[in-house]
Amino acid sequence: MMGQDSVRTPYVDYDAWFSKQDTTRLSRKAQEAEAFFRRTGITFNVYGQSDAEERLIPFDLVPRILTAAEWAKLSRGIDQRVRAINAFLHDIYNRQDILRAGIIPVELIQNNDAFLPQMIGFSPPGDVYTHIIGTDIVCTGEGEFYVLEDNARTPSGVSYMLENRETMLQMFPELFSKIKVQPVSDYPKNLRRSLAASAPASCEGRPTVAVLTPGIHNSAYYEHSFLADQMGVELVEGHDLRIVDGKIAMRTTEGHKVIDVIYRRIDDEYLDPLTFNPDSLLGVPGIMDVYRAGNVTIANAPGTGVADDKAIYCYMPEIVEFYTGERAILKNVQTFRCSDSLQYVLDNLADLVVKEVHGSGGYGMLVGPAASKQEIEDFRAKLKARPSNYIAQPTLSLSTVPIFTDAGLAPRHVDLRPFALMSPQGVNITPGGLTRVALKEGSLVVNSSQGGGTKDTWVLED
């Protein structure tokens, strides 16, 4: 498989099946999958393009496969990291022990836009801040996992994890009877349960959960409606909500109905025009007061962004150790803060990946080995102007996985975003996650906005 001499262990059974397949049939299946995605409207909008431009994320029909042992290690590491991040957030907004201990520089928190003073001295229901976390993982060899990034705000992509599996089950049912794969389909049920378990103490009876979306023009709208639908809860926008008797209520055909837990998919700054961006039409005026009075749960809690910042990322091994008393199971990618190591970074631009500290979506980054001389020089100027705005990482020799192309199987770089749910009852991680793949040969950028695709992710049964 993948033109190598030997087939990697987790792929042996799949390879045996694949070698017996007719590639014309597979090509047809691939086209069918695309037509299905389009008809179902599993699309995303690209910002800055006309709204007629709804795009499909390309789907590759070869699964990315992990053994049960690999997953066991990975999920232990994620569990540990997620708990540490949550403890870090509680600490940062309360006693600030980690700052007092001198482990993280105070400026990093003080000058951080994602740090919300409104959260100081407040504990959310059950002390849970990060109800949903997506941890971006890369792999350099068997069992060699590195965390590339933590997504503690509103991580997206879980609908693709679910739809990709659904598509595979429809296209190749026989494959799943031959190979035992751990299911992912419990995610919506677990999400609802986890959110309900995080309801405020004042909630009596069965908690009402709702998903708050910015609306149909948001790039991830499909996912918002998909999750609401799968959980069996209402999908609301800011203008559906108002405060009634000190609680958040949604306008229904039968009057106003109280909501106990809001899974919000809008950013902090748009959440409450009375507290944050006054121009926001997406949020609910006064929701922060209701929140602080303990009458609604907001998931994730406002202000979690302070934990997934790329500048904080450098300190993650220390953060894990500080709160769990254990060494971090998952490694960080070596990271240079450009404010400290500017000269080194400038000298080695052609070999490094440079990212904006607050950037996301693959925008505003430089992939040294893939960039032209001109691009490197342009970036050099930006970097010099604001070194503290950037971090740099070596390009790892990432392992590849096979994808299906017209010319047969071909190796491509991937990352993996497993999704962890957290509630007062504990952490739950769905086996697998979203595998994103750089479809361009040699490319390291997997973001869907930059031409990346996705594939199903299999964790084998033991």
Partner 1 sequence: MLGKTAGGLYWMFRGLERAENNARLIEAGFRIALTRSTNTETEWKSVIITSAAQQGFTAKHSEFNSTNVIDYLLRDTDNPSSVLSVVKQARDNARLVRTALTTEVWSAVNETWMLITELLKNPIADTDLPEVLSIIRQQSALVRGALHGTMLRNDIYDFCRLGTFIERMDSTARIIDVKYYTLLPSPSLVGSRMDNVQWETLLRSVSAHRSYRWAVEDDYTATNIANFLVLDRRMPRSLAFCAGQIVENLDYLSEEYNDRRPSLDMAERMAARLKGRDIHSIIEEGLHDVLGTIISDVAALGAQIEKDYRFIH
The type of residue at 195 is L
Contact between 240 and partner 1 per CB under 8 A: yes
Chain residues 152-181 in contact with partner 1, contact rule CB under 8 A: none
Contact between 252 and partner 1 per CB under 8 A: yes
Secondary structure of 301-329 in HEC code, one letter for each residue: CCCHHHHCCHHHHCCHHHHHHHHHCCCCC
Contact between 33 and partner 1 per CB under 8 A: no
| Separation between Cα atoms, residue 54 and residue 46, nearest integer Å | 7
From candidates 31, 41, 53, 170, binder to partner 1 by CB under 8 A: 41
| Separation between Cα atoms, residue 280 and residue 335, nearest integer Å | 35
What's the closest the beta carbon of residue 216 comes to partner 1, in angstroms?
5
> Quick one: 6 or 253, whose CB is closer to partner 1?
253
What's the closest the beta carbon of residue 188 comes to partner 1, in angstroms?
12
What phi and psi values does residue 100 have, to the nearest 5 degrees?
-60, -35
What's the closest the beta carbon of residue 457 comes to partner 1, in angstroms?
24
Contact between 343 and partner 1 per CB under 8 A: no
> Quick one: 229 or 462, whose CB is closer to partner 1?
229
How many residues make contact with partner 1 (CB under 8 A)?
Answer: 22
> Quick one: 228 or 420, whose CB is closer to partner 1?
228
Structure tokens at 325: 């008393």
| Separation between Cα atoms, residue 348 and residue 61, nearest integer Å | 37
Contact between 40 and partner 1 per CB under 8 A: yes
Sole window of 237-245, 261-269, 391-399, 400-408 interacting with partner 1 (rule: CB under 8 A): 237-245
Burial class of residue 211 (count of CB atoms within 10 Å of its CB; 0-12, 13-18, 19+): buried
Contact between 237 and partner 1 per CB under 8 A: yes
> Quick one: 38 or 100, whose CB is closer to partner 1?
38
Contact between 91 and 323 under an 8 Å Cβ cutoff? The reply is: yes
Determine how β-strand 261-264 pairs with β-strand 59-66.
unpaired
| Separation between Cα atoms, residue 95 and residue 291, nearest integer Å | 20
Torsion over CA: 197, 198, 204, 208 (sign): negative
| Separation between Cα atoms, residue 449 and residue 324, nearest integer Å | 36
Contact between 221 and partner 1 per CB under 8 A: yes
Contact between 50 and partner 1 per CB under 8 A: no
From candidates 13, 15, 166, 234, binder to partner 1 by CB under 8 A: 234
What phi and psi values does residue 388 have, to the nearest 5 degrees?
-70, -10
Sole window of 103-111, 229-237, 349-357, 426-434 interacting with partner 1 (rule: CB under 8 A): 229-237
From candidates 107, 142, 144, 229, binder to partner 1 by CB under 8 A: 229
From candidates 236, 262, 287, 298, binder to partner 1 by CB under 8 A: 236
Contact between 272 and partner 1 per CB under 8 A: no
From candidates 239, 281, 343, 441, binder to partner 1 by CB under 8 A: 239
Tally the residues of the chain.
462
> Quick one: 41 or 426, whose CB is closer to partner 1?
41
Three-state DSSP at 416 gives strand
From candidates 94, 118, 182, 225, binder to partner 1 by CB under 8 A: 225
Contact between 250 and partner 1 per CB under 8 A: yes
Contact between 5 and partner 1 per CB under 8 A: no
Q: Is the peptide bond before 164 cis (omega within 30 degrees of 0)?
A: no
Give the closest residue to 207 by CA, choosing from 216, 219, 190, 195. Answer: 195
- Site residues for partner 1 per CB under 8 A: 38-41, 52, 216, 221, 225, 228-229, 234-237, 239-240, 250-255
